[in-house]
Amino acid sequence: MISIADNLNNVRQRIKKAQTSSPVRLLAVSKTRTADEVDTLHQLGVDEFGENYLQEALEKIAALNAQHEQSIIWHFIGPIQSNKTRQIAEQFDWVQSVDREKIVTRLNEQRPDNLPPLNVCIQININDEQSKSGIAPEQLTELARQVSASPRLQLRGLMTIPAATQSDAELNASLNTMHNLFRNLQTQYPSVDTLSMGMSSDIEAAIQSGSTMVRVGTALFGPRTS
């Protein structure tokens, strides 16, 4: 049986072979995975974990943060409901799925004063899919301005989930469009350093198109059983 350690080594090799110069960060997508599985990866040197489901994530955060003395960096990467923003603002280090002005306002108001600013990536719906969250590229200027003007938030970059049904050429076009949006945003905001795109199936293509962070679940943990 292939172990999580073997999977991690394979993913790291894929990242290493694909990256050109700048290092690419690995975000382990741990939705539906147990605290024990997260703990195993953390002990192997993975510090950043992405969660989609708030209640499930809060249980893992409570179980693991005390054990590891806050050394795990938690990212919320799922759709954000207005009634969940307080717990996200209080418990997470990053939010990658910001896509509405109302959510920006609530996260800023609800981020505790004793914590550093909440790191924010704006989610772009690059293929205009009805089933996915995210804004259209033409909405980015205004939403980025609002995030940047929020004192308890730190604008860090962009996140996207390209359509799974694209051809290789279409996928590359989507990824390159994201990279152009990212580079343009960097010229306006010095804090922007993160382009979060690429998952288990398209790590290489995303990195070659300029991704600085890949979000990997299945290739690390294996197929989900539920």
CA distances from 98 to 15, 63, 125, 202 (A): 26, 26, 11, 23
Tell me the per-residue pLDDT of 154-168, one tens digit each, with 9 for 90 and over. Answer: 999 999 999 988 899
CA-closest candidate to residue 125, choices 114, 113, 133: 133
**What does the pLDDT read at residue 176?**
97
**DSSP three-state, residue 29:** strand
Which whole number is the average pLDDT over 125-150? 96
Q: How many CB atoms lie within 10 A of CB 112?
A: 12
Domain extents in the chain: 4-221
Q: What is the pLDDT of residue 218?
A: 95
For the segment 19-28, what is each residue's pLDDT rounded down to a tens digit?
Answer: 887 899 999 9
H-assigned helices in the chain:
4-18, 35-43, 54-65, 85-91, 101-110, 140-148, 168-188, 203-208, 218-221
At a CB cut-off of 8 Å and minimum separation 6, what does 128 contact? 136
Residues 6+ apart with CB under 8 A from 41: 4, 8, 28, 30, 49, 220
Q: Is 82 exposed, middle or buried (0-12, 13-18, 19+ CB in 10 A)?
A: exposed
Q: How confident is the model at residue 71 (pLDDT cuts 50, 70, 90)?
A: confident
Give mean pLDDT, residues 105-121.
98
- Please give the Cα distance from 165 to 118 (Å, whole number): 33
Pair of tokens at residue 216: 């990997």
Structural contact between residues 212 and 187, judged by C-beta atoms closer than 8 angstroms: no
Task: Say if residue 226's pLDDT is above 60.
Answer: no
- 77: tokens are 């990467």
- Residue type for 197, please? M
Paired tokens of 177: 């469009």
Closest CA to 78 of 107, 106, 119, 50: 50
Second CATH level (architecture) for the domain 4-221: Alpha-Beta Barrel (3.20)
